[in-house]
């Protein structure tokens, strides 16, 4: 199922992605990937969610959480950025609609992934936190694209707030 989702994202990227201007939003892709890498590294022993293989292709490729997470970083995130920022309007109303569209896309795919057992939640995280995170993430991606320094400043209290809300113990750090 994970491979099928990656293939779907490749198709979406091919069909709708603005790749000719990708260098303009490459740093925002790195912002997204760095955030995920930090989550994967720092909370390795205290995961909020975990990816699992589902389906014969996933199992034949011996996919595990790490490989699926890397696949998301290498396929899903670049496509998301190429379509989300690549088709972003300068008109405020259309920006809001694009943000809502992508929150919906992520909510639906993550909901299906959870229902099918591809995505398992841990330590108090759930679909509602996923949606709330996406409500924060997509405006932050747009902010990073326009004003990266402000986005980096704002991400610190967001991370600390989530750390506090989920009462992540410091002993999980190496």
In SS3 terms, 81-130 reads as HHHHCCCCCCCHHHHHHHHHHHHHHHHHHHHHHHHCCCEEECCCCCHHHH
Summarize the confidence of residues 135-160 as an average pLDDT: 98
Instruction: Give residue 162's pLDDT band: very low, low, confident or very high (50, 70, 90).
Output: very high
Confidence of residue 173 (pLDDT cuts 50, 70, 90): confident
Residue showing tokens 């679909």 = 127
Measure Cα distances from 74 to 6, 32, 36, 124 in Å.
10, 11, 12, 27
Helices (H), the chain: 2-16, 22-42, 56-60, 65-71, 77-84, 92-115, 127-146, 148-165
Q: For residue 12, give the DSSP letter.
A: H
Residue 145 has pLDDT above 90, yes or no: yes
**Which positions ≥6 away from 174 have C-beta within 8 Å?**
none
Half-sphere exposure of 171 (CA within 13 A, CB side): 0
Burial of 89 (0-12, 13-18, 19+ CB in 10 A): exposed
Angstrom distance (rounded) from CA 144 to CA 167 = 27
HSE, CB side, 13 Å, CA atoms: give it for residue 76: 20
pTM: 0.94
pLDDT tens for 73-97 read: 999 999 999 999 999 999 999 999 9
């Amino acid at each position: 199922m994970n491979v099928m989702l990656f293939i779907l994202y490749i198709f979406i990227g091919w069909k709708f992605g603005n790749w000719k201007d990708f260098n303009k939003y490459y740093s925002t892709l790195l912002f997204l990937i760095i955030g995920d890498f930090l989550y994967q590294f720092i909370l390795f022993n205290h995961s909020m969610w975990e990816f699992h293989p589902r389906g014969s292709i996933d199992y034949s490729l011996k996919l595990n959480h790490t490989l699926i997470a890397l696949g998301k970083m290498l396929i899903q995130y670049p496509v998301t950025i190429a379509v989300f920022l690549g088709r972003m309007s300068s008109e405020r109303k259309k920006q809001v609609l694009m943000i809502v569209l992508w929150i919906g896309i992520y909510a639906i795919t993550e909901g299906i992934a959870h229902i099918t057992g591809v995505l398992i939640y841990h330590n108090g995280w759930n679909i509602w936190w996923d949606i709330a995170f996406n409500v924060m993430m997509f405006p932050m991606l747009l902010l990073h694209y326009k004003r990266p320094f402000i986005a980096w400043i704002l991400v610190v209290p967001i991370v600390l707030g989530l750390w506090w809300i989920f009462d992540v113990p410091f002993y999980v750090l190496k």
